[in-house]
């Protein structure tokens, strides 16, 4: 990925966006030499999962773990002991 400073991006915005669109270029945008953002084609961003589906899957995994739990201690007790 090519780096481009914020000032250069401001001066060349049209050309940079054209490069992203036409050549699928990707840029790391820097401010005072530090990376602060990434500019990439919109279709290169992976789709974000639905938070409700993620939460439902976590709850299902929790139930599955609980069914097969073989310790006399709860998971909370084990974690508390590990943190000491």
71 in Cβ contact with 78 (< 8 Å) = yes
pLDDT digits (tens, 9 = 90+) for 23-43: 999 999 999 999 999 999 998
Q: Rounded to an integer, what is the distance from CA 50 to the centroid of its chain?
A: 14
Question: Which residue segments constitute the domains of the chain, with CATH numbers given?
Answer: 2-44 (3.40.1620.10), 51-83 (no CATH)
Q: Is the pTM of this model over 0.75?
A: no
Q: Which residue has the higher pLDDT, 75 or 57?
A: 57
DSSP β-bridge partners for residue 79: none
Rounded distance, CA 48 to CA 42, Å? 13
């Amino acid at each position: 990925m090519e780096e481009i400073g914020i000032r250069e991006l401001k001066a060349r915005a049209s050309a940079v966006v054209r490069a992203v669109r036409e050549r699928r270029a990707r840029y790391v945008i820097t401010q005072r030499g530090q990376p602060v953002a990434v500019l990439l084609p919109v279709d290169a961003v992976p789709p974000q999962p639905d938070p409700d589906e993620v939460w439902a899957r976590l709850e299902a995994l929790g139930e599955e773990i609980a069914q097969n739990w073989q310790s006399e201690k709860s998971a909370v007790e084990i974690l508390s002991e590990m943190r000491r």
